[in-house]
A and B are shown apart, each in its own frame.
Chain A
Amino acid sequence: MRISIHFREPNHMTSTTLDQKDISDASADALIMVDGVPLKQKLAETTKKQRSRALLLTVPLVLFLVISFVIPIGQMLFRSVHNPAGSNVLPNFAIAIQDWDGKGYPSEAMFELFVKDMQNARKKREIGKTVGNLATRMNYTIPGTRSLFTSTSRKLSKVTEGPYKEALFKIDKKWENKVIWRNLKRVSRDYTIAFYLAALDHKFDDDGDIIAADKLYQIYVSNFFKTLKLSAIITFLCLLIAFPVSYLLSILPLRTSNLLMILVLLPFWTSLLVRTTAWIAILQTQGILNNILVSIGLVSDDGRIQMIYNQTGTIIAMVHILLPFMILPLFSVMKTIPPSYMRAARSMGATPFTAYRRVYFPLTLPGIAAGTLLVFILAIGYYITPALVGGEDGLLISNLIAYHIKSSLNWSLGAALGTILLVTVLVLYWVYNKLVGIDKLSFG
């Protein structure tokens, strides 16, 4: 109460005084427009109108961002925890089963709801609400239960009266397994962390405790680390190659540097697929490079080197594709460093190396920072190139996400992996900001 008065009072005071001043000003100077409105007010109105009109220009961009960026990411976050199969397919049972304590079997009333809901779902056959959807979901939790659900649902049409528990057990003995009912209770909740657990190589055991997944099925955590490692290597190699090139570009006379720049930009403008396929033609075992090596006798015909469809292939192709993203910011920063600085350092007795290390190199840091950030973040989510040349061990996390979206259809797991990737990038960005400072970046 006191606080609100405290804040409101001075505001109110100032606005009143201003108004009074305005009016007195206007009447004193008689700056009134033809239509009788004071000039100041008119001006304020016009600028406001202009400002809102200018704002209107950004509407398409904002709309575009919301539709193509905010909404999909929101959907992804939602899908990674949303667990609708249970309550969609078995709406009444899903609520009732939550009262069960997990000991013994659910009550006969729950069995009845289960049977009725299953029959209903089969009859209605609505998209996303079929027994098949629940069967798919349960099959993630207990592999091998899909056909139990679908075949039971076919046979349930004959069951018209209780006892429903016995009827189910008669249809298939597997229903006697209490583990199924305990998992069904968990699957019937609307939200779950099960997909995040799966994305981190963990799972719920039959008692609902979180445990590590079987070693034979662990793949995601190691792949996240591999993705980070490969991205770091690619970024470092890009920097190693781009630094001298950018330096050369920045000191050469304009005509030569323009030509060199075109050589950098030409591949940049070429289709990604064309460049990746070109690398396949060059690097494959029957490819150009191996043929040259064989013809000059460096390797034997049987000992052709495997340079593609593995990590090496991924690294080579991605370094080439991402190189311009390192060269361009570096070049634009180096271009602005006056050569006189180096000359000044030399005239004061610095050796060329010292002058370079103490004067030139620190001035290029904003470019290095921008280039590495750009390349690293692009590399961590790269998809097409590793998919084409990565073989088996060169696949990145984005390829596993694509697998779950395109092949296994476990979109929730794909969304969970995507969210983890997004969070990883944000955390890295935050660390980077702390270490380097984002305001120090220069993209040119």
Chain B
Amino acid sequence: MKLTKLLASTLVGVSLLAGATVANAGEITVVSWGGAYTKSQVEAYHKPWMAATGNVIKSEDYNGGVAEIKAQVEAGNVSWDIVDVELSDAIRACDEGLLETIDASTLPAGADGTSAQDDFIEGTLHDCAVASIVWSTIFAYDKEKFPDAGPTTMADFFNVAKFPGKRGLRKGAKVNLEFALIADGVLAKDVYEVLATPEGVDRAFKKLDTIKGDVVWWEAGAQPPQLLADGEVSMTTAYNGRIFNAVAGEGKAFEIVWDGQVWDLDLWVIPKGTKNKELAMEFLKFSTATEQLAAQASYISYGPARKSSSSLVGKYHNKDIDMGPEMPTNPDNLKNAVQNNFNFWADNADQLNERFNAWLAG
């Protein structure tokens, strides 16, 4: 009897205490892609926000996709409060009712006074998602492997005879099929038109066939710079910011080839039913403000989604490197570039990934 009483009073005490802390400062779980990218977000968004509001951020890593969000929302047990996702995933999850809707008119105006709707680049605001960055899948090579003349075009990536060595590619159909078509001579602007036809898909797989035996497949964004550094591959597709950080931060001799880059958006979404919706929303507004987006661009070479941030983008945070030319949206880098077509992939990802898996196993 006595023990029960003691237990009960302890429990009450503890819960009161816990209640008190919650009232003072909240805690939210922010989920992103890990490595150099998460680090840039921690520096530019998390730390200033925690300092300004006294709230605590728990940072978690994942490898993309909406599987965890779906599982959490459907089980009614949401532990991720705000998640950084790709555009096609944001659209799909929103369509399936897994995300809270976000009213773009509540976002803060830009530093120059333009309203959020006008300040954000076209196509970066959606029913359930607000973009923070423009990133790109490019290919990069190790300069030490090609001291004389390195590859300069997407076709070179697929030319194992002229540029020997293993290739790294992300495991999945998305982006690889686009790259294959560009390497096969399709113009960047026509890629999805060709890919929408069965012949176009066959053509892409046929091109991939030519390097299949030389490919090392990667899944997490941190892997490709590692594969290059270990000498496991001589060139690899990668997220441009990861390669930039390996060069700027760790002094690696990697070179990015922008020809045929496929650029995409990363957006914040809030899983439906999170208990910290208000706080998550507060963090979302804070982190997508003009200054924060510009600040994050000084830690990694991903372009800010606000126009008003562009003029504030300066140098790499601790080195004398201009960030402008490193951005996917830099005009020089956009000469032969594709914007990832989320509608195409929303429709065709199931089928093309199935074929990709069969192709991989065969």
A residues touching B (Cβ–Cβ < 8 Å)?
125-133, 135-136, 139-140, 143-147, 150, 216-219, 222-223, 284-286, 309, 391-393, 395, 400, 403, 405-410
Q: Are the C-beta atoms of B65 and A217 separated by less than 8 Å?
A: no
- Distance, CA A284 to CA B166, complexed state (A): 14
Kindly identify which residue among B67, B96, B351, B353 contacts A144, using a CB–CB cutoff of 8 Å: B351
CB nearest to A136 among chain B residues: B96
> Contact between B358 and A130 (Cβ–Cβ < 8 Å)?
no
The answer, yes or no, to whether B235 is at the interface (CB within 8 Å) is no
15 sampled A-B residue pairs with Cβ under 8 A: A128-B96, A132-B95, A132-B96, A143-B347, A145-B347, A146-B346, A150-B95, A216-B359, A223-B361, A286-B230, A286-B232, A309-B216, A392-B360, A406-B67, A409-B65
A409 & B357 in contact (Cβ 8 Å cutoff): no
8 A Cβ contacts from B326-362 to A: 343, 346-351, 353-355, 357-361
Q: Which residues of A contact B97 (CB under 8 A)?
A: 125-130, 132-133
Bound together, the chains give a CA A140 to CA B349 distance in angstroms of: 10
Distance in angstroms from A328 CB to nearest chain B CB is: 34
Count of CB-CB pairs between chains A and B under 8 Å: 87
- Contact indicator per residue, chain B 76-106, by CB within 8 Å of chain A (1) or not (0): 0000000000000000101111100000000
Encoded as 1 (CB less than 8 Å from any A CB) or 0, chain B from 285 to 317 comes to 000000000000000000000000000000000
Q: Provide the bound-state CA to CA distance between A409 and B92, in Å.
A: 11
Select the residue from A139, A145, A284 with max chain B CB neighbours within 10 A.
Answer: A139
Contact of B355 among A125, A216, A408 (CB under 8 A): A216
- What residues of chain B lie closer than 8 Å to A140, measured between beta carbons? 350
Q: CB of B56 within 8 A of chain A? A: no
Question: Closest CB-CB distance, B131 to chain A, in whole Å?
Answer: 19
Rounded to whole angstroms, the CA-CA distance of A338 and B350 in the bound complex is: 61
Looking at chain A's contact residues, the main secondary structure is loop
User: A139 to B350, Cβ gap below 8 A?
Assistant: yes
A217 proximity list for chain B (CB < 8 A): 351, 354-355, 358
- Bound: A92/B66 CA distance, A: 30
Contact A143 B272 (CB under 8 A): no
Specify which chain B residues have a CB less than 8 angstroms from the CB of A128 in the assembled complex.
74, 96-97
* Residues of B with C-beta under 8 A to A408: 349-350, 353-354
Which chain B residues border A133 with CB–CB below 8 Å? 96-97
Cα distance, A299 to B319, chains bound together (Å): 44
Chain B interfacial residues counted at CB < 8 A: 34
Most buried by B among A130, A143, A391: A143
Cα distance A144–B96 in the bound complex, in angstroms = 17
B-side interface residues toward A, CB under 8 Å? Answer: 65-67, 70, 73-74, 92, 94-98, 216-217, 230-232, 272-273, 343, 346-351, 353-355, 357-361
Contact check, A130 vs B230: say whether CB atoms are below 8 A apart: no
Q: Looking across the interface, which residue of chain B has its beta carbon closest to that of A218?
A: B358
Most chain A beta-carbon neighbours within 10 Å: one of B70, B98, B347, B355: B347
Given contacts A216-B355, A286-B230, contact A139 B347 (CB under 8 A): yes
Cβ–Cβ < 8 Å partners of A139 in chain B: 347, 350
B70: A residues at CB distance < 8 A: 409
A187 to chain B: closest CB distance in Å? Answer: 14
Chain B residues whose CB sits within 8 angstroms of the CB of A223 once the complex forms:
361
- Chain B residues with CB under 8 A of A126: 97
Query: In the complex, what's the smallest C-beta–C-beta distance from B320 to chain A, in angstroms?
Result: 34
Closest to A132 in B: B95
**Given A219-B361, A406-B65, A286:B231 Cβ within 8 A:** yes
Chain B residues whose C-beta falls within 8 Å of the C-beta of A405 in the assembled complex: 67
Asked whether A143 lies within 8 Å of B348 as measured between CB atoms, the reply is yes
In the complex, how many angstroms separate the beta carbon of A389 from the nearest chain B beta carbon?
13
Central interface residue in A133, A150, A403, by most chain B CB within 10 Å: A150
Who on chain A is nearest to B67 by CB? A406
Chain A residues within 8 Å of B94, by CB: 132
Complex Cα gap A400–B65 (Å): 16
Cα–Cα distance between A245 and B359 once the two chains are bound (Å): 41
Residue of A nearest to B96 (CB): A132
- The answer to whether B232 touches A285, judged by C-beta atoms less than 8 angstroms apart, is yes
Given A145-B347, A146-B346, A408-B350: A395 and B96 interface contact (C-beta under 8 Å): no
Kindly report which residue of chain A lies nearest to residue B101, judged by CB atoms. A125
- In the complex, the 8 A-B pairs of residues with the closest C-beta atoms, listed nearest first: A132-B95, A143-B351, A132-B96, A130-B97, A219-B358, A144-B347, A406-B67, A392-B360
Contact of B346 (CB < 8 Å), options: A147, A309, A395, A400: A147
Judge whether A144 and B348 touch: CB under 8 Å.
Answer: yes
How many angstroms between the C-alpha atoms of A284 and B226 in the bound complex?
14
Residue of B nearest to A216 (CB): B355
Tell me, rounded to whole Å, the shortest Cβ–Cβ distance linking B160 to chain A: 14
Closest to A201 in B: B358
Q: A127 to B98, Cβ gap below 8 A?
A: yes
A63 shortest CB reach to chain B, Å: 20
Tell me which of B92, B358, B360 contacts A132 (CB under 8 A): B92
Q: Which residues of B contact A409 (CB under 8 A)?
A: 65-67, 70
Closest Cβ neighbor of A153 among chain B residues? B95
Q: Which residue of B lies closest to A129 (CB)?
A: B97
User: What are the residues of chain A within 8 A of B355 when measuring CB–CB?
Assistant: 216-217
Q: List 6 other contacts, CB 8 Å, given A132-B96, A136-B96, A144-B351.
A: A127-B272, A135-B95, A146-B346, A147-B343, A408-B353, A409-B65
Q: Is the CB of A222 within 8 A of B361?
A: yes
Q: Which residues of B contact A147 (CB under 8 A)?
A: 343, 346-347
B232 contacts which chain A residues (CB < 8 A)?
Answer: 284-286
With A129-B97, A407-B67: A216-B346 Cβ-Cβ less than 8 Å: no
> How many Å lie between the Cα of A217 and that of B355 in the bound state?
5
Q: Would you call A403 and B357 a contact (CB within 8 A)? A: yes
Query: Is there contact, CB below 8 Å, between B358 and A131?
Result: no
Docked CA distance A285–B214 (Å): 13
A278 vs B300: C-alpha distance when bound (angstroms): 33
| Cα of A317 to Cα of B50 in the assembled complex, Å | 45
Shortest beta-carbon distance from A416 to chain B in Å = 14
User: Within the complex, what minimum Cβ distance (angstroms) separates B358 from chain A?
Assistant: 4
Provide the bound-state CA to CA distance between A139 and B360, in Å.
Answer: 22
A400 to B98, CA, bound (A): 25
